Amino acid sequence: MAPKLILLCGPSGSGKTTIVQHLLKTYSNLSFSVSATTRSKRSNEINGKDYYFLTVEEFRKKIQADEFLEWEEVYTHGFYGTLRSEVDRIAAMGKVAIFDVDVEGGVHIKGRYGKNLLDVFVRPPSVEDLYKRLVARASETPESLEKRILKATHELTYADRFNNVIINKDMHVAFAEAENLVSAFLNDHEELPVKK
């Protein structure tokens, strides 16, 4: 039987990562699917927990070996992807994988898993709101901020490709909406324990 998976995606700064972290604290039977990337590790990140940090050469070798479920070159030499081994690792633990991926990656995963996947697109109320959130992070250069805003504006056009959309205007409301979706999904499939 194919594993059950939960996918959250949306533009950078939409709040999807915060929602994923909340869901992981709320449901003991979820496990975070760690993505691989070639971007530089931020000071607060841990290799193997936040991302698998790879060189561009390592990432390309894994592409050639067909080790990715999905991958994308988001920016020049800025690769992101989901290793097939992550889904296997989580399924072997008897848990449900939860993904926090780029919109393009989300579309690829959605195409592979169908009914076994809960797909959620998280969007900010507006591009202006997204800009404020990204500036508040203080982790972007003016150039990278501009690239992220351009990319996010494009990614917002993907919302209608997903079955569920959360407009993240208020984080507590977004948490509640995400919990309702996850509870319904888990309870609709096999008797998986849901811990509140």
Tokens 């080790």 map to which residue?
Answer: 67
Distance of CA 135 to the CA centre of its chain: 21
> Could you report the per-residue pLDDT of 11-66, keeping only the tens digit for each?
877 889 999 999 999 999 999 999 999 999 999 999 999 899 999 999 999 999 99
137 domain-assigned:
yes
Is residue 72 assigned to a domain?
Answer: yes
In a domain, 131, yes or no: yes
Q: Are 13 and 155 in contact (CB under 8 A)?
A: no
More confident residue, 98 or 149: 98
Judge whether 193 lies within some domain. Answer: no
Mean pLDDT, all residues of the chain: 88
Within a domain: 196: no
Position 147 pLDDT exceeds 80:
no
Question: Residue 50 falls within a domain, yes or no?
Answer: yes
pLDDT for the residue numbered 8? 96
6-10, 107-111, 123-127, 181-185: segment of lowest average pLDDT: 123-127
State the CATH number of the domain containing residue 183.
3.40.50.300
Query: Tokens 């992550």 map to which residue?
Result: 86
133 inside domain = yes
Question: Domains in the chain: how many in total?
Answer: 1
CB 12 within 8 A of CB 134: yes
What's phi and psi for 121, nearest 5 deg?
-100, 125
What range does the domain containing 17 cover?
5-188
d(CA 187, CA 195): 12
- In whole angstroms, give the CA distance from residue 14 to residue 166: 10
- The whole-angstrom distance between residue 14's C-alpha and the CA centroid of its chain comes to 11
| DSSP calls for 16-30 | HHHHHHHHHHH-TTE
Q: How many CB atoms lie within 10 A of CB 87?
A: 20
Whether residue 133 contacts residue 13, with contact meaning beta carbons closer than 8 Å, is answered with: yes
DSSP state of 55: -
Tell me which H or E stretch contains 123. strand 117-123
**For residue 139, what pLDDT is reported?**
67
To the nearest whole percent, how much of the chain has pLDDT over 90? Answer: 58
Place of tokens 């699917």: 33
Q: DSSP class of residue 47? A: B
- Is residue 122 domain-resident? yes
Which band of pLDDT confidence, cut at 50, 70 and 90, is reported for residue 138? low
Condensed to tens digits (0 to 9), the pLDDT of residues 79-94 reads 999 999 999 999 999 9
pLDDT in tens, 158-171: 999 999 999 999 99
Contact 69, 106 (CB under 8 A): no
